[in-house]
A and B are shown apart, each in its own frame.
Chain A
Amino acid sequence: MDLPDISSIKSPSRPEIFEFAGIPMISYFTKNWEKLKNFQARPDDILIATYPKAGTTWVSYILDLLYFGKVDPNGQSSLPIYMRVPFLESCFPGMPSGTELADNLPNSPRLIKTHLPVQLVPKSFWEQNSRVVYVARNAKDNVVSYFHSDRMNHGQPEPGDWNTFLEDFLKGEVVFGSWFDHVCGWWEKKKTYPNLHYMLYEDMAKDINGEVESLCTFLKLSRSDEEKNKIINSVQFDAMKQNKMTNYSTIPTMDFKISPFMRKGKVGDWKNHFTLAQNEQFDEVYKQKMKNTTLNFRTKI
C-alpha cells in the first residue's frame, strides 16, 4: 500500500488531557471511538497490548519478523512498523485511523497494537477468541521512559518537569491512566482468558532467546534455530534504534533533538532519574497498590 504523505503535517499544539470512559485520555484516541468500539476482530488476529513505553515496538517487531520475515522480507525494509502493526485506537490528523489501517492490512494474521486498559478493548477480540500478547515493564523504568517520550512527542500532553510527571504517574493522571490498574487489569484477565500471553520486559531483556521460544510455543509457531537467531539479532536495541523502519524517525510530531524514540531500553535506568527520596516515596505507594496481586517485577537484572 502507499505510504500516506505525512511530511507536510504541521505539529499541532499539544492535546489536552480529559477523562473518557473512566481514564485520562486525549482526543487522538477517542475521536474514532464508535468505529473502535465496533471494530471487527478476527480469530487469528494478534493484539499486542502494553501500557505506553513498555516495549511495544520491540515485541511488535519480533512478531512481525516471526510471521513475515521470510514471507514478506521487503516489508520490513519499506514499511515503518507503525503501518505494519496499526495502533488500534489512534486517529491522528492526516493519517488513516488505526481501525482503517487494520481493516486494510493485507497480511494474515493481522498484528494490531493497543495501549488500552483491558476493560476498554473492543469486545470482538474476546468474542472471536483472538490471541493477545501483553508486555509489562517495571513501574520505575516505565515512568522514566514515558516521561522522556512525552517530552519529545507533541502528540502527547506536555509532561511538565520530572517531579510533576512522577506524581501524575503515581496518581494515574497520565494518558491511558494508571500503570497499576493497567498491568493488574491485564494480569487478572489472563486468569479467565487462556489466549493471553503475559510477558515481562525484564525477562525479555535478560533472556530474549527463552522469551522468543515461549512466544513461539504460545503462538504454535515452528521456527528453525537459524531463523530465531536472525530475528534476535534484528531486534537488539541498537539494531532497532538504527533502523528507520522501527525507530519512528519518520513521524513529524516527534522532536528527536529532545529525546530519541528509542532512548536506552535498559532495565535499571530509573536509578539515574529518581532521587533517593522519590524512590522511597514511590516504593510506599507501589507496595500499597500492588498488595493484592501476584504480579512480580524486577527493577534490575
Chain B
Amino acid sequence: MEQEPLSYEEAITRAADAIQRFPLKDVQGVPLMSTIADNWKSISEFCPDPSDLLISTYPKAGTTWTQEIVDLLLNNGDAQVCKRAPTAVRIPFLEICAPPPIPSGLELLKQMKPPRVIKTHLPIQLVPVGFWQNKCKVIYMARNAKDNLVSYFHFDRMNLTQPEPGPWDGYIHKFMKGQLGWGSWYDHVKGYWKESKERNILYILYEDMKENPSREIKRIMHYLDLSVSEDVINKIVQLTSFHVMKDNPMANYSYIPKAVFDQSISAFMRKGEVGDWVNHFTPAQSKMFDEDYTNQMKDVDIPFRLNI
C-alpha cells in the first residue's frame, strides 16, 4: 500500500540530517542558495496560471506578514481557515529546494489548484516569465535598508541552511556589495520599483504597513479586487499584529526543528520594528552605510523611512 504522505513538519524532521549551511552559487549574476541554483531550469520554467498571485520581497522584509494578510483577505478574515497549514504550505516558496523528503516549492505548487498564492525572494529579472506573460498580480513588500539588514543578519545566524553570516561589521559590507543570498538589496528594491507601473505591481513599504496597517490592507484589498467589511479589516489588523503572529504556530515557523532553524539563537519573528537598527549600527557604520546608500539609490526616490 502507498505510504501515508508526510506532513510538512515530519518531512523537515526527517531531512534534518542532510541540512547544512548551503553555499551560494551565481545565477545570472545573483547569488542564490546552491540547492536553488542546482534546480534553476525547473524553477525558471515554472508556468503560473493567470489567476495566481505572487508575493515578492527581499529576504526579511515582511514576507510572512504580507502572506498572512493576503491569506486572511482571501478568506474573509477567518482565522481558523488561515491556520489550516503552516505559511510555507499555504503559500509555497517558489524557488526553495531542500533535501528530500522536504517538498520543494514547485512540488507543493503542483499539488495545488489555481488560484494559488506564491512567495518568492527572486529579483525581478529572475522571476519566471510566465508571471508577466500571464499578467499575474504581484505584490512587492520592501523594507528600509538598515532594518532589513539587521533582520537578515539575525536570520542568517539562526537559519542553519543559510551561509554563516560572520561578524556584524563584515555582514554590513556583504550587504552593501550584494553578496548575500538573493543578491543586492539595492538592485532588488529598485528593480521592482522601476517596473511597478508597467507590470501592475503593487509596491508596499513595510514602514507604511507598520504605521497604518488598516490603510495598507485596504490597498491590497482593492488591488486584489476584493471587498471585505470594515470589521474584517480591523480583525485582520489585529490577527497580523506582530505579537499575535509571533504566537501563531502556523506563522512563526516554530514547527521547524532546531537543526534547521535554531530559534534559541534568534527568533524567526524577532522584533518586527522600524528603527531597531539604532541598536546595532555604530555611528561610524551608520555614516559609511549612508554614503553607500546615497550613491546606490540616487536614481530612484523610493520613500523609505528609518523611523516612524
- Hey, what's the 0/1 contact readout for B69-108 against A, CB within 8 Å counting as 1? 0000000000000000000000000000000000000000
Give the Cβ gap from A21 to chain B, nearest Cβ, in Å.
Answer: 36
Specify which chain B residues have a CB less than 8 angstroms from the CB of A273 in the assembled complex.
282
Q: Contact between B278 and A276 (Cβ–Cβ < 8 Å)?
A: yes
| B285 CB contacts on chain A under 8 angstroms | 272
B279 at the interface (CB under 8 A from A): yes
- How many inter-chain residue pairs (CB < 8 Å) link A and B? 26
Q: Is the interface of B mostly helix, strand, loop or mixed?
A: helix
- How many Å from the CB of A120 to the closest CB on chain B? 35
A272–B278 CB distance below 8 A: no
B13 to chain A, nearest CB (A): 33
By the criterion CB–CB under 8 Å, are A271 and B282 in contact?
yes
**Residue A301 lies at the interface, judged by CB distance under 8 Å to chain B:** no
A250 at the interface (CB under 8 A from B): no
* Residue B281 is within 8 A (CB to CB) of chain A in the complex: yes
How many residues of B are in contact with the other chain, CB < 8 A? 10
Is the CB–CB distance between A279 and B283 below 8 Å? yes
Chain B, range 280-295, C-beta contacts under 8 Å to A: 280-286
Interface flag for A274 (CB, 8 Å):
yes
* A69 CB, nearest partner CB in chain B, Å: 37
Pair B284/A276 contact, Cβ less than 8 Å: no
The distance in angstroms between the C-alpha atoms of A171 and B244, with both chains bound, is: 36
Interface presence of A229 (CB below 8 A)? no
Residues of B within 8 A of A277 (CB): 278-279
Q: Name the residue in B280, B281, B282, B285 with the highest tally of chain A Cβ atoms < 10 Å from its Cβ.
A: B282
**Contact present for A275 and B281 (CB under 8 Å):** yes
Q: In the bound complex, how far is the Cα of B281 from the Cα of A278, in angstroms?
A: 10
Assess the B278–A275 pair: CB atoms within 8 A: yes
Residues of B within 8 A of A280 (CB): 278
B149 → A minimal CB distance (Å): 13
Please determine whether B282 and A272 come into contact, CB atoms closer than 8 angstroms.
yes
Could you tell me which residues of chain B, from 259 to 302, have a CB within 8 Å of some CB in chain A? 277-286
- Can you give 23 contacting A-B residue pairs, CB < 8 Å? A271-B282, A271-B283, A271-B284, A272-B282, A272-B284, A273-B282, A274-B282, A274-B283, A275-B279, A275-B281, A275-B282, A276-B277, A276-B278, A276-B279, A276-B281, A276-B282, A276-B283, A276-B286, A277-B278, A277-B279, A278-B279, A279-B283, A280-B278
Chain B interfacial positions (CB closer than 8 Å to A): 277-286
Which 9 A/B pairs are nearest by Cβ-Cβ distance?
Answer: A276-B278, A271-B284, A271-B283, A277-B278, A277-B279, A272-B284, A275-B279, A272-B282, A275-B280
